[in-house]
Amino acid sequence: MMDDINLYRLNEKLAQILENNGIKNLKLTSLGNSIASGYSAYRETKPILYRNDSLKLVMQVHDIHVETYHFARAQNNSDDKIFNWVDSNITLGEIYKMNKSDYSNNGFTSMTTTIKKEQIDKYYSEDKEVKIQDAIFDSNINSSNIIIYNGLTGSFLDNITRNGKHKLTYGIKKDQIGLESTLKLIQDRNRKSHTNTQVYLCGAPDFLGIHISEFINRRLKKVAKKYANTVYVKPVETKLFYDSLNQTGKKVDIHYDEEEYLEMLNHIFESISENYEFLKAKINLDRSLCEANSLIELEFSSLINNPNLLQRLIHEIIEEDCKDILNSSHKIKYLQNIKKFLLEVFPYDYFYLGKNNIVKEIAYQKKR
């Protein structure tokens, strides 16, 4: 009950932030694996964003239209497949068809679940022709695109449960390639098409609070730091053993139950509220610096002889990026964050700007 009340407050907080940023249309997409789909083997299976009961009502009060999408499924959900969904621009109807197959009793693809036929028909209507790129790449200045991503487990579990021949961590490494392909595709679209899509990368469930999933979550934390559009979201501690809705005795499940999914939503919407404006600024900064880097690469001979002009260009970009962060402590935190990010990707994306020029400007901004 307290999580319900707190989630309402977080919805209200986010609505105020979006309203202050001139947002009129919020597109929320759950993308990824079985957790992203809201699956539970023995408790209620329900698409995760449908579990946020007060979201649309709160946003409506602030004159913000909400669209929620679930491009996720409970199996065959390795990160390379997720990348292919985005790259091939799959439709929601195709994803829903996969979900209906997953929850059918055909003996081959069926899964342990308590979901009923009327719920399947309600959640997964196959006539949805919305394409994934329409859901996550809206470039309208009054729209906000937010992806809630759960992944890095599909290939790992496939290797274990389907008699794979690879070492235990092979699937995780394989999934990381797929995950980063998706994040890079989104970042490239942000840079070239001004889509400003944010990604909230959720940690794998923390079974019994003993951090057994930390070998996955350490990777997710490192990945999140490499992309201007991405933030890591801490996982929820799970019970692991659950009372089944339709069987007797305790059952083991690596997925969340109703309370844990609600707690997860609290973590997600708290993270969005805390990071929305920082990510917005960071995406804009990354785009501007990439554009400047490309310009200098093309005009290198004329600019290399004028270091003052180059420094002034970098100053104007970072000064513009920081102008809306009025709180001094928030500004210092943001500058520390972007310094780590910029130096991480500098050799690949901003080389022609000069590392010392970037470091010098950030130091200058911290003193202001």
Residue with tokens 């290399």: 304
Percent of the chain with pLDDT over 70: 91
What's phi and psi for 242, nearest 5 deg? Answer: -135, 150
pLDDT at 164: 63
Q: Which of 98-112, 147-161, 230-244, 306-320 has the highest mean predicted lDDT (pLDDT)?
A: 230-244
DSSP string over 126-150: TT---BHHHHH----TTEEEEEEEE
Q: What is the pLDDT of residues 183-219, one digit of tens each?
A: 999 999 999 999 999 999 999 999 988 898 898 999 9
pLDDT at 346 over 70: yes
Q: What is the pLDDT of residues 211-247, one digit of tens each?
A: 988 989 999 999 999 999 999 999 999 999 999 998 8
With a CB cutoff of 8 Å and minimum separation 6, the contacts of 299 are: none
pLDDT at 212: 84
Q: What is the mean pLDDT of residues 290-317?
A: 79
d(CA 349, CA 343): 10
pLDDT at 115 over 80: yes
The DSSP output letter for 204 is P
With a CB cutoff of 8 Å and minimum separation 6, the contacts of 72 are: 30, 31, 32, 33, 34, 36, 37, 38, 47, 48, 95, 150
Q: Residue ranges per domain, the chain?
A: 2-275, 299-367
Q: Yes or no: say if 356 and 311 are a contact pair by the CB < 8 Å rule.
A: no
What's phi and psi for 10, nearest 5 deg? Answer: -65, -35
Q: How confident is the model at residue 329 (pLDDT cuts 50, 70, 90)?
A: confident
Q: How confident is the model at residue 108 (pLDDT cuts 50, 70, 90)?
A: low
Element (H, E) at 311: helix 307-322
pLDDT at 312 over 60: yes
Q: What is the mean pLDDT of residues 160-177?
A: 74
pLDDT at 308: 83
pLDDT at 85 over 90: yes
What's phi and psi for 250, nearest 5 deg? Answer: -75, 140
pLDDT at 154: 75
- C-alpha of 12 from chain center: 20
Q: How confident is the model at residue 169 (pLDDT cuts 50, 70, 90)?
A: confident
For the domain covering 2-275, report its CATH number.
3.40.50
Q: How confident is the model at residue 330 (pLDDT cuts 50, 70, 90)?
A: confident
Q: What is the pLDDT of residues 116-155, one digit of tens each?
A: 999 999 999 877 789 999 999 999 999 999 999 999 987 7
Q: Yes or no: say if 12 and 58 are a contact pair by the CB < 8 Å rule.
A: yes
pLDDT at 110: 60
pLDDT at 128: 75
With a CB cutoff of 8 Å and minimum separation 6, the contacts of 106 are: none
Q: How confident is the model at residue 274 (pLDDT cuts 50, 70, 90)?
A: very high
3-state secondary structure of 326: coil
Question: What is the amino acid identity at position 362?
Answer: I
Q: What is the mean pLDDT of residues 146-175?
A: 78
Instruction: Provide the Cα torsion 85, 279, 143, 200; round to 10°.
Output: 40
Determine which of 71-75, 269-273, 296-300 has the lowest per-residue pLDDT on average: 296-300
pLDDT at 166: 56
With a CB cutoff of 8 Å and minimum separation 6, the contacts of 228 are: 187, 190, 279, 282, 283, 285, 286, 341
pLDDT at 227: 97
CB neighbours (10 Å) of residue 188?
A: 12
The DSSP output letter for 168 is T
The DSSP output letter for 205 is P
